[in-house]
Structure 1
């Protein structure tokens, strides 16, 4: 996934303790935190390579293959609140170390999974994503406190750009390291006896061992570096009731509820498209690409999000966030429809161009949803964080539809997701203009 998750609901507004905002002192810690953003972007995007690989090895249906994303993004929903409690107990820095070690354990589990079966792979994905969830909850606040508050948006843009760099590089590397072998077709697999089939599956699954053991070692090294780094301590400020508007809960704010639905559908739509890209580009009437070649094109999908972030950063200085969001959602709807009804180069490049317009959606929806929540901002952040579970549900729905009516028409599922985002953007744009007029 190309976005970074918000902080957890259970955490109050945080401030750095002491005079920790000296630029020279913060350069090293900021580099380490930025590497963390890069790593979880890379790990998340590698799923798009592993899904078609595991689908071919274990002759899975699309629905069964989407269990990868179900287990991975389901961890956000399951682990988010416990992660907040853990970090409140042990602190942000130790929490990040724990998250890194759990993620490293998840990567290490890919080795026995390759010798066992699909079920252990799914468990490994859940453990890996649990570590990433804890890591995100712990690391995000550091970006805002490692320097003056006035430059926090630029630091967030920088770290998110490196997150997108990770999502861009991962499919290309995965294509080289994991998908380089030619997978056998279903007819040849059906002709094998049980012993031959087990040997083939073990041989093909073994291609993940080396890459994920390297990732496990890298995460363990980062855990040591993070433990030794001199990072500013974050102290929780007391919540005030003055700015809350008298409402009892964040759920009393309609724009927060709509924003949570939008986050659910956006993450679901983005992840779902990425999950099916290798198979989509492999269709003979689309591009007929081999999996390893198709994986390199998936990098363009995620790379577009990286480029689009910088374009969006400039454009939104002059255009309201709501209008920008609505325009991008409309562009995505048009592109996905072109991919559904088109064929050949038109369908291929249309679906890849979606990444460019995905770029601003997560941070824009997140900021619009939290606008004016006052003391309920922390609770609202957690609701939005848990809504990332859309990355587990929406691909599952599209997988079921792909099995029932075919891969290409199954992309109507993300079209429906972006239709709601279009509505949300237009709704916010109207409210934003009214607020400006009232002011």
Structure 2
């Protein structure tokens, strides 16, 4: 199906689903992925067979089946480099008569192949996951991979042993065959350390479109005319097509006239009733060092600048993107490993006004002393815990941005929010997964006073 038709279909589908909770709010269209194909930066492949006791395969599970694995060396959702690695790995395993792992009886050897590729540098991380039920030296496999004619480079190649019964990638023992276990990826001018197992948006360039949409909603930087695109009524293939194009976070900081102007105006319009003082100098200009622009640093005296909550913050990407317009960002995330990564990435980017907290949102909201001026919600597929949502409502902020990977969950949460005076002000869709039915919903909500 042509990509424009995919976007139109997704747009129509979500509009119909959410119609009763939108109240005629302004729809800023669907923002397409810059890449229609080869956009996935990470893929997990399974070893198995297409027919019972058939030849070894390495690929993806057939839809609606548990055991059937189809070869995926021609999958166009991943880069050609990854397809070459899959083919070379399968050939090596066949040549060495290595048996697949049988998850029915939990016996065998070959389990998974995990590949991650940076879309900005082309660096690759490759993990071959087996059980420990037999021993094999995979050095020759690593050498074969390194001789492949690919456009990228290998950051690291590993053999991992996993004896857990779950049909998912885990690591009990790790053998380094080459290199290091991470690379750096860039999003809107910020640098992020990425490992094979860290959470990072699967579509890097699509993530830039998503985060830029969130950033514009938070700061009120909506393109002239009120739409993110003027190409078509509901469809944008490339995202924001106005003079103010997607910018890096450093450039974004410089584009903001003053933190006082943005946040004071938003609080007045939204009736937040906050006495928050905002220093006009709270965002200092970037300094030139060795010909490069350093990330803007906040005035140490700007202690009353806006407080932003980034709830379900993952590795803290959104909070760090918005740090230039916040006095302080509090990110809350359930997974401790993600919080650790968020802290490392904030330090990597010299961001000092973000605090990341590991734990359940409902529990941790009780522990943060500073109440928010603005809230970002990016919950898992099931949406926000109703008790946590009640606590969020009680803060009385004027606006929130909700990012949903499952529109029906947002609809459920919005029904509760509407009972407490919340309405959708603007919204858009971001297509992070071309050639699939999935789409992200980004909603700017305002509270009636």
TM category (shorter chain) comes to under 0.3
Q: Could you tell me the TM-score, scaled by structure 2's length? A: 0.22
Larger relative contact order, structure 1 or 2 (CA cutoff 8 Å, min sep 6): 1
More strand by share: 2
More helix by share: 1
